[in-house]
Structure 1
Amino acid sequence: MQTETKKTYDKLSRKIALTVITVSLAPLILVGGLIFDQFRSIYRAKVYAHLAEVVDKHKDNVNNFLNEKLAEVQYLSRVFTYEELSDSRNLEQALKGMQQQYGRIFVDLGIINENGTQVAYAGPFNLLGADYSKADWYLNSRTKSTNISDVFMGLRQSPHFIITVNSSRAGKPWTLRATIDFLAFTNLVENIHIGETGYAYILNKSGVYQTRPQSNLNRELVLTPYENIQDPVYEDGVSIQLSGGSDGEKYVTVSSLLKSGDWKLVYQQNMSDAFSFMIRSEFITLAIFLTGGLAIIVMALYLSRKLVTHIEFIDSENEMMNRQMVETGKLASIGELAAGIAHEINNPVAIMIEEAGWVCDLLEDEGREMSSYAEISRALEQVRTQGGRCKDITHKLLSFARKTDSRVVDVFLPDLIEEVVGISMQQARYAQINLSLDLDREMGPVRASISELQQVFMNLFNNAVQAMEAKGGTLSVACRAEDGQAYVSVADTGPGIPAANLSRIFDPFFTTKPVGKGSGLGLSICFGLIHRMGGEIDVESGVGQGARFNIRLPLPSAGTEYEVEKED
């Protein structure tokens, strides 16, 4: 039976815990998931917008750089004639002036005639008379008034690119060429560096690098685009793609066209690096959610267990109370039975006393001469005495049984205490328990229920008797008026109460008696009844020092007329 009950409570605990966990975690997961998704979308859009802005800004910087250098070369071709520029001294002077004004961005200058031969040169290399008639950059520039070549190695065997401006002299074409410092140009692109893996480079239409690639760039890396963030372009010619690399990583690639579409500025970054802050925030958020969820689960289990334990305790109290009610019902039945028996016994006892008196009268008149007169007189007197005692006992029992009315009346405490003591001390005489009464007959009555006070005193007297019945002792009861209150003390010389139990002595169902000897409700009921009357009850005790219960009840104010309950 206990196993089944435990299983029921365990099942209830699991149901409560599951309900609390579900109700608590479901909204948390839904709201958290929605916020998490919105945060990811907003942060991704923010990162893409930032990268697009950076690439677009650097695209403008590179285009402005190229256009400025082209404009400076064009200005030189307009200011000077072919004849003036064909003089190497004038060309040297022009290069020096440009380098002084713009820095060493311009490496050299040259004049090429209609046959593709460089007829004048100013610069650090020995390129006078160089033949460019078959050079790709020269052939590509012949059909255009101005041109910016791709980066190539050329005769000097170092990467560079050339700006050309085509003019004519007497119907014959000629070309002014200027070489741009490759390092200065490359630095414009290398400034785009974000995070640990973000870098930028420029490609031509054939996919050839036009800037110096990063030292950590894996040239064998193959990117396979799988998603366009905005198709076909993001804004201002900037496009963003997500790609899968041949190394198994995912990459963000942002690109924009340069130089009228001949070049492409490309920015590339590992996705885990580009979204490192978001990933870290997601990890922290997930850790917080998991910690919060774990705390909710632990608290749900703890509270459900505590709640079920409390329910189990209440059920246990209810069960004990039900048993106590059954016992109380039995006691009430026994009380009614005892009252009926006492009433039936009272009549024969009265007859016995009357008959004993009549026999005594006859014996006085006619039996004085009998040899056993004295013995018979003594026996009859004993019959009358013990009969009177029986009549007194049954009278008190009937009087106690009749007083079950809980109405508040004026009660004279000394008389009520004597009446209850008279009933309780019947069993005490056989346990060698002496009675000491100190009752103030001059004190006024208290306003209380007679039946409730009977119950309080009966409980206290019975507890004292039971505490001393093993070795005997003295039950001391005192009653007096003190500081406007009725003071009653019930003391015994029993084993006393341990200090650890004093704070719990009035708790329901707390008892130090063996199982089956007490329910633990007596003192709790006394405590409740006294406080309901507006009084107080406390205990003084120690191991081996006996116990003293002190009761204080309010006395009516002076001048009040009392209607004292009298015995029948």
Structure 2
Amino acid sequence: MGGERNGKHKNFYRQLRRNIILAIMLVSLVPLLLSQGIVLAHLREAYREKVIAHLHELILKHGQGIDRYLTDRLANIRLLARAYDPAILADEEFLRRQLGLLREEFGGVFVDLGLVDGEGKQLAYAGPLNLTGVDYSQAGWFKLAMAHDQFISDVFTGLRGTPHFVVAVKQDRHGQDWILRATIDIEAFSFLVENIRQGETGFAFIVNRKGELQTRPRFAVDVARQPYAEFLRAKTLPGKVVVTEKRGQDGHDYIMAVSLLKGGQWLLFYQQERSDALSSLAGAERLAMAVVAAGVLAVLFMALAVSGRMVARIAKSDEQKKLMDERMLEAGRLAAVGELAAGIAHEINNPVAIMVEEAGWLEDLLEEDDVVSNADRAEFERALAQIKTQGARCKGITHKLLSFARKTDPEAREISVNEMIQEALSLLAQKSRYANVKIQARLQPGLPSVKASPSELQQVLVNLVNNAVDAIGAAGGAVTVSSERVGDKIVLKVADTGKGIPEAELSRIFDPFFTTKPVGQGTGLGLSICYGIIHKLGGQISVESQLGQGTTFVITLPAASGAAEDHK
């Protein structure tokens, strides 16, 4: 039994420590994690906005640079076309010198120069190929160039068989149209676009409205599919640069920027995997998570240390409380013994007086000469029998008193409720007679036994009956002790016909050191001890009282499983 109780205590302290650790962790970590989550959310949003703003500015500047590059190359050709008469430009030697100057000035951006008449025939050519006399009348770029004063073509292969594009300026001299055209080095142009890159996955490329690539992308793309197609279909964009987040065909999330070039004929696309664009943020988040993890470990360490210290103190306090309860129980028992002392002394005095009288009678008989006569022998035997009887009576009374006064047996066992009640009432019989109080027992036969310490449960009943006798006072009355079975519970009641307890005092009736008796006549420990004993046994104790009608204490105890009590 002691080992089982120790095991329950250990389980209680383990659960208490777990609850303390959980409470400390919740109180400490919830604000930490919540604030960290809010900070990270704001940081993530702020960093995302910063990345998008940076990308917006990057694409805007590069787009403007590409447009400026194209318009500058067109301006170079337009300057030549306006500065020289077609007859001069038709001189291929002169044209070669101009091409050399342009290449020297712009580092090989210009591949060749050509003068084309209004019919599409190239009159003069300067460059690496022999294209003099070539007919461009059916070429797409020529038709578009004839429809405009100046023109920049899309990238195409043409007669060269390699990707290139031309810039062309149309002039009208002497009523005839002619075109000065130049081929732009696609490698130099592509470098302007390929130079737009961020991180490991960022790259840019240009497409025309037909979805044809004008530069080589760093990674393979399918511009006919989303999300590129929706921008190709749009005639205009809501701003000079649109930055958005899209999911690609590969299932990855991308940050994409789009800008219009060449008057809206080309689209500059830039894309980068979102994780790559926000890689610095990921590093900051990992650092923050490491800090949070360190905080969690620190809180856990402190929770373990604090909970261990607190539980140790609680356990020590419980031990001290248990010792104090035992002392209070002993004090209550001694107080009850004191109250019983007068009645017990009178109870013992009667049989002792009889024994003394009988002993004197025997002495008188022994003084006579004929002590062993038949008639005197019978009287002698009767007196001895009476002495034995009264001695046994004294022994029984003192045994009951000592049994009640003995220190509480901590071991609970199955006991008969009715027998225990009858034994307790026998201790109080003399006091009740002196107090003019009638004690009645109404015990239901066949009650199951209960598992309890006999001395503790007896002390509860003695205290309650003593209080009931004191509450009735000199006017006299009755105390009724009853027992009955209600379901799997045993219900004991101690009812008196005393003056009752005021309602305002009922809520404090079980408090330690609270008493309704006059000063010097009560310690206020009796009912508190009773309350502690009953709850320790797994039962309940309550009180019902009305002024002028009496008080009833109700004790409910669990019946021992499988036990039944014979009718006594």
The normalised TM-score by structure 2 is 0.54
> What is the CA-CA distance between 1:129 and the residue it aligns to?
0.4
Contact (CA 8 Å) 1:163, 1:177: kept in 2 or not?
yes
Amino acid at match of 1:263: W
RMSD of the TM alignment (CA)? 3.2
Match of 2:83 in 1: 79
1:221/1:247 contact within 8 Å kept: no
Q: How many residues align?
A: 332
2:287 partner amino acid? I
In structure 1, the residue matched to 2:517 is none
CA distance in 2, matches of 1:31, 1:227: 40
Match of 2:258 among 255, 259, 262: 255
> 2:187 aligned to 176, 179, 183, which one?
183
Is 2:35 aligned against 1:31? yes
CA-CA distance at 1:134 after TM superposition: 0.4
Tell me the alpha carbon deviations over residues 190-240 of structure 1, each in whole angstroms, 9 at most, x when there is no partner: 1111111111111111111111222x4355995448999xx9999851001
Q: In the alignment, which of 71, 74, 79 is matched to residue 70 of structure 1?
A: 74
For the Cα contact (< 8 Å) 1:227–1:243, is it kept in 2?
Answer: no
Shift in alpha-carbon separation, 1:96–1:49, aligned structure 2, 3 A: same
Describe how 1:511-530 pairs up with structure 2 within 5 A. Answer: none
Alignment of 1:155 onto 2:163? no
Opposite residue 101 of structure 2, the aligned amino acid is G
Query: Which residue in 2 is equivalent to 1:282?
Result: 285
Q: Which residue of 2 aligns with 1:93?
A: 97
Q: Secondary structure of the residue that 1:112 maps to in structure 2?
A: strand
Shift of 1:286: 2.4
1:315/1:33 Cα in 2 relative to 1: closer, same or farther (>3 Å)? same
| SS class of match (2:179) | strand
Work out whether residues 254 and 267 of structure 1, in 8 Å CA contact, stay in contact via their aligned partners in 2: yes
Residue by residue over 1:497-541, the C-alpha shift from the partner in whole angstroms, topping out at 9 and shown as x without a partner, is xxxxxxxxxxxxxxxxxxxxxxxxxxxxxxxxxxxxxxxxxxxxx
The 10-residue stretch of structure 1 (231-240 or 201-210) with the greater mean CA deviation from structure 2: 231-240
Match of 1:313 in 2: 316
Distance 1:132 1:29, change over 3 A: same
Does the 8 Å CA contact 2:211/2:223 hold for their aligned counterparts? no
Equivalent position SS for 1:287? helix
Query: Which whole-Å deviations, capped at 9, do the CAs of 1:106-165 have from their partners, x for residues lacking one?
Result: 111111111100011111111000110000111111111000000111111111110000
Q: Is this contact kept in 2: 1:226–1:242, CA < 8 A?
A: no
Equivalent residue number for residue 53 of structure 2: 49
Structure 1 residues 220 and 58, CA gap change in structure 2 (3 angstroms)? closer
Q: Which residue of 2 aligns with 1:4?
A: 8
Contact 1:243 1:251 in 2 (8 A): yes
Alignment CA distance shift 1:163-1:226 (3 Å) = closer
**Other-structure match for 1:173:** 177
Q: What's the counterpart of residue 108 of structure 1?
A: 112
User: Are positions 1:127 and 2:131 aligned together?
Assistant: yes
Of 205, 208, 214, the residue aligned with 1:210 is: 214
Instruction: Sort the Cα spacing of 1:41 and 1:227 in 2 relative to 1 into closer, same or farther, 3 A.
Output: farther
**What secondary structure, in the 3-state scheme, does the structure 2 residue paired with 1:264 have?**
strand
Q: Distance in 1 between matches of 2:131 and 2:67?
A: 29
Structure 1 residues 234 and 135: alpha-carbon distance in aligned structure 2, compared to 1, 3 A threshold: closer
* Residue number among 16, 23, 26 corresponding to 2:20 in the alignment: 16
| 1:278 to partner: Cα distance | 1.4
Counterpart of 2:306 in structure 1 is: 303
C-alpha separation between the residues in 2 aligned to 1:109 and 1:154? 15
Q: Deviations over 1:384-409 (max 9, x none)?
A: xxxxxxxxxxxxxxxxxxxxxxxxxx
Determine the C-alpha separation between the residues in 2 that align with 1:193 and 1:300: 50
Match of 1:267 among 266, 270, 273: 270
SS at match of 2:159: coil
Aligned residues of 1:24 and 1:296 also touching (Cα < 8 A): yes
Cα distance in 2 between the residues matched to 1:233 and 1:305? 70
Q: Are 1:225 and 1:243, in contact at CA under 8 Å, matched by a contact in 2?
A: no
Cross-structure match for 2:64: 60
Q: Letter of the aligned partner of 1:170 in structure 2? A: H
1:353-397 Cα offsets, whole Å, 9 max, x none, are: xxxxxxxxxxxxxxxxxxxxxxxxxxxxxxxxxxxxxxxxxxxxx
Distance 1:221 1:134, change over 3 A: closer
2:137 is aligned with what amino acid? S
User: How far off its partner does 1:52 sit?
Assistant: 1.0
Alignment match, 1:553: none
Please tell me the residue identity of whatever aligns with 2:35: V
- Residue 174 of structure 1 deviates from its aligned partner by 0.6
Q: What's 1:373 paired with?
A: none
1:88–1:220 CA distance, 2 compared to 1 (3 A): closer
- Per-residue deviation, residues 429-455 of structure 1 (Å, max 9, x unmatched): xxxxxxxxxxxxxxxxxxxxxxxxxxx
Q: SS at 1:46's partner residue?
A: helix
Match of 1:535 in 2: none
How far does residue 102 in structure 1 lie from its aligned partner after superposition?
A: 2.2
- Name the TM-score, length of structure 1 as normaliser: 0.54
Aligned equivalents of 2:228, 2:156: Cα separation in 1:
29
- One-letter amino acid matched to 2:50: K
1:97, 1:18 → 2: CA distance?
82
- Uncovered stretches (5+) of structure 1, i.e. residues with no partner: 332-568
Q: 1:96 to 1:166 in 2, by over 3 A?
A: same
1:322 Cα deviation from its structure 2 partner: 6.1
The 1:120–1:226 alpha-carbon spacing in structure 2 relative to 1, beyond 3 Å, is closer
Structure 2 distance, partners of 1:151, 1:167, is: 23
- CA drift at 1:97: 2.0
SS at 1:28 equivalent: helix
Secondary structure in 1 matching 2:220: coil
Aligned-partner residue type, residue 133 of structure 1: S
Deviation string 1:62-117 (CA, Å, 9 cap, x unpaired) is 11111111111111011100111112122122212222222211111111111100
Residue 257 of structure 2 is aligned to residue 239 of structure 1: no
CA distance in 2, matches of 1:118, 1:286: 69
Counterpart mapping for 1:453-532 below 5 A: none
Could you tell me whether the CA contact under 8 Å between 2:236 and 2:264 is conserved in 1?
Answer: no
The verdict on how the C-alpha distance between 1:171 and 1:275 changes in structure 2, with shifts beyond 3 A counting, is same
Matching residue's letter, 1:300: A
Matching residue of 2:144:
140
My pick for the range that moved more, 111-120 or 304-313, is 304-313
Q: Which moved further from structure 2: 26-35 or 96-105?
A: 96-105
Q: Distance in 2 between matches of 1:149 and 1:112?
A: 15
Counterpart of 1:28 in structure 2: which amino acid? L
- SS at 1:108 equivalent: strand
